[in-house]
Amino acid sequence: MKLMKVVFCTLLAFALAFSLAGCSLGGNIKVDKDGNVIIKDKDKDGNELVIGEKKWDKSKMHGLDAPKAKLETSLTIGDGAMYGFSEMKKEDAREYIETLKSKGFTYNSVTISDYSYTGTNEEGLSIVFTYD
């Protein structure tokens, strides 16, 4: 549980750093009808950076469907993505981990406390899923 909190806090700090960088670079900042802040810009390599858009990008998630939960926020850059959800049930989290395994994310896999899973597929694509 402590490891999950450390990983989550690290990812949160990463997201906040990108959001500050987006603001200081004069990125395209919008507020949607629900009051959510969405930042769109490009990183130094020209990759699109999007923070806060509530949209699951299946192509960045290796063809996976979103888990059964309410999508709250996202951070996408280049080929990577990070999503935050709420209202997920424990059973849905377990089911999603089994879906990841069935889709081939079984190489270099690590399961912690039945609710945190990291795995790589044979193409070298990695995914990290944590339920807390």
> Which range has the worst mean pLDDT, 12-21, 33-42, 74-83?
12-21
Q: What is the pLDDT confidence band of residue 88, given thresholds at 50, 70 and 90?
A: very high
- 61: number of Cβ within 10 Å: 16
User: What gap in Å lies between CA 89 and CA 84, rounded to an integer?
Assistant: 14
More confident call, 105 vs 13: 105
Q: Which carries the bigger pLDDT value, residue 63 or residue 77?
A: 63
Query: How confident is the model over 12-35, as a mean pLDDT?
Result: 60
pTM above 0.85, yes or no: no
